[in-house]
Amino acid sequence: MIFSVVRHSKGHITASEILENVKKSYPFIDLSTVYRTLDMYKQMHLISSTNLGGESYAYEWIDQKGHHHLVCKICENITELNETFMDHLSAEIDEKFGFQSDIEHFAIFGTCEKCQ
């Protein structure tokens, strides 16, 4: 059931939101079960997690290699970045430092245009 909720969510979803959805069908599930399941999905590279600041995370199903975000520290809005942004950064790191980076998930924190 957790799999289905994450897979069919429209974008990012928190563990609490997942729990709320799953409890409709499985009222005895608890938040620790949701977190354990999310950790397993992360290890399997099925989902990504984005730190929203502090201890707050949003989860999202990933169906492509690179998955990158801009995260507003004020309103917690998440904007997805095209993978080509990180491809350029990765190439620059390789050229300048001789280091082959493997950037699969990356979050850049700042202030969105609306909150500035």
Question: Is pLDDT above 90 for 90?
Answer: no
For residues 19 and 37, membership in a common domain is answered with: yes
- One domain for residues 69 and 54: no
Are both 31 and 48 inside the same structural domain?
yes
Q: What is the pLDDT of residues 10-58, one digit of tens each?
A: 878 999 999 999 999 999 999 999 999 999 998 877 888 888 776 788 8
Name 59's Cβ contacts closer than 8 Å, sequence gap at least 6.
Answer: 6, 12, 13, 14, 15, 18, 38, 47, 48, 49, 50
CB-based contacts of 27: which residues, under 8 Å, 6+ apart? none
Q: How many other β-carbons are positioned within 10 Å of the β-carbon of residue 19?
A: 19
N-to-C CA span, the chain? 39
Full domain range(s) for residue 32: 1-63
Number of folded domains in the chain? 2
Residue 69 vs residue 92, higher pLDDT: 92
Check whether residue 48 and residue 82 sit in a common domain.
no
pLDDT, tens digit (0-9, with 9 covering 90-100), for 91-109: 899 999 999 887 777 778 8
Residues 46 and 5 placed together within one structural domain of the fold: yes
* pLDDT-derived band at 61, boundaries 50, 70, 90: confident
Residues 5, 59: one domain?
yes
Statement to judge: residues 76 and 115 lie in one domain: yes
Top pLDDT among 3 and 35 is at 35
Q: pTM for this one? A: 0.63
CATH of the domain at 98: 3.30.1490.190
- Per-residue pLDDT, 34: 96
